[in-house]
Structures are given as C-alpha cells and as structure tokens.
Amino acid sequence: MQISSLRTTLAILLLALLAVPSLRANELETTRDALEGTLNQLLDVLHASDSKVPYSQKRTQIVDILNQRFSFDVIIQRALGRNWSKLNDAQKDQVYTLITDLVLQSYTKELQDGPRPKITLKDPEVVTSSKIEIDSVVVLNNSEINISYRLANIRDRGWQVYDVLVEGVSMVSNYRKQFDEHFQKKSASDLIELLKDRLKEV
C-alpha cells in the first residue's frame, strides 16, 4: 500500500472514531440509578406485607415494573436466535408469555424467599457507544451473588436490559444452547409443551 493511500485510510478511521458519540458520566449514572430504582420497586412488591401472595396475582404489577428497564421481547428473540423464525405468530406469542413467566417466577421466587436482599450496583462499564454493562452484588440469605446487566440503547426505548449474567453465566446464551439442542429433533409445538411443564414445576 502506498504511503498516500495509507494516510487516507488512517484519516478515515480517525474520523470514524471521532464520530462515535461518547457517553456522558451523568447519562451513565442516570441509567444505573434508573435500573436500581426498578429493582427496588420489584423488591417492594415482593417484600410487601402481602409478599406471600402467588406470582399469578402479582404478575401484571411485576411485569409493568420490569418492562421499564427490561426488553423481554429482545431477550427472548436473542435466546431463540435462528429458531425464532421456526415459530408462527401464534406460537411466538405463546413462547413469549411462557418464557417471560418462567424467568420471572424463578427470579422472583429467589428474591422473595427469606429477608429482603440488598442490591448494590456498580458504575456502568462502557462496551460501545450503544452498549453498557452494569455489575451488581446481591446479598441474599447471607450469600453474595454477582449479577451483571447488559444494556443497549434501543430506539424509542432508551437504555434497556437485553441480557443478564448470573455469576458470569449469560441467561441468553444458556437458553439459546438449550433451544438449539431442542430444535435439532423437536418442533415448536414440543417446545410450548415443554415450557408449560417447566412452568408447573417452578
């Protein structure tokens, strides 16, 4: 490559880097505080005086709270990956509802048992101009659990969680592996029945 061409390429790369918008510290802080607020709202519901009320009776309230910061449609589509296209519209609606309830019932059951957990969120780590990761420590029943929230700046939604890592294990990747194995031999209808069975076990 000639020197003039190399200089042109470097100049273009430099301009591209300069064009990437930087995230301001106050934006990151606001995003972290908003996520923390959403999690505390959830705990308020789970540890209210009627905390033993079944999930089914509190589902709408829980989903409304988490929908402020969690994009479950993105999480579920990413978890299914290429298998999402194997579902028809009706099956997509069923799978969306079943996986949402399966995840939330498991998640809320852990947070609801015993005394109220203490959640400490750390400063966001910038991954790209449109993606950040927020690590947290949850003290639950005298044990510490490391949970990381991956957020993307989604159009018309703002910063939304699109994956959750528990002790370094990605929820999306974990589910995707299971779904890939399932669709090697079984169908979308089989998946719906499997999810229904698992939901009964929670």
Which residue in the block uniquely carries the two structure tokens 């969690």?
A: 70
Contacts 24+ apart (CB under 8 A), 82-89: 83/179, 83/180, 83/182, 83/183, 86/183, 86/187, 86/188, 87/188, 88/188
Categorize the per-residue pLDDT at 119 as very low, low, confident or very high, splitting at 50, 70 and 90: very high
Express as a percent the part of the chain with pLDDT over 70.
87
Contact 176, 80 (CB under 8 A): yes
Categorize the per-residue pLDDT at 188 as very low, low, confident or very high, splitting at 50, 70 and 90: very high
Contact 32, 123 (CB under 8 A): yes
Rounded to an integer, what is the distance from CA 12 to the centroid of its chain?
35
Residue 107 has what pLDDT? Answer: 82
Residue 8 has what pLDDT? Answer: 65
Residue 20 has what pLDDT? Answer: 41
Q: With a cut of 70, say whether residue 36 has pLDDT above it.
A: yes
Q: With a cut of 60, say whether residue 149 has pLDDT above it.
A: yes
Identify residue 77 by its one-letter amino acid code. Q
Rounded to an integer, what is the distance from CA 40 to the centroid of its chain?
16
Q: What is the mean pLDDT of residues 150-160?
A: 95
Q: Which of 46-55, 87-96, 144-153 is predicted least confidently?
A: 46-55
pTM of the model as a whole = 0.84
Domain ranges for the chain: 24-201
For 24-201, CATH number out of 3.40.1000.10, 3.10.450.710, 3.90.330.10, 3.40.190.10 equals 3.10.450.710
Residue 12 has what pLDDT? Answer: 56
Q: With a cut of 90, say whether residue 125 has pLDDT above it.
A: yes
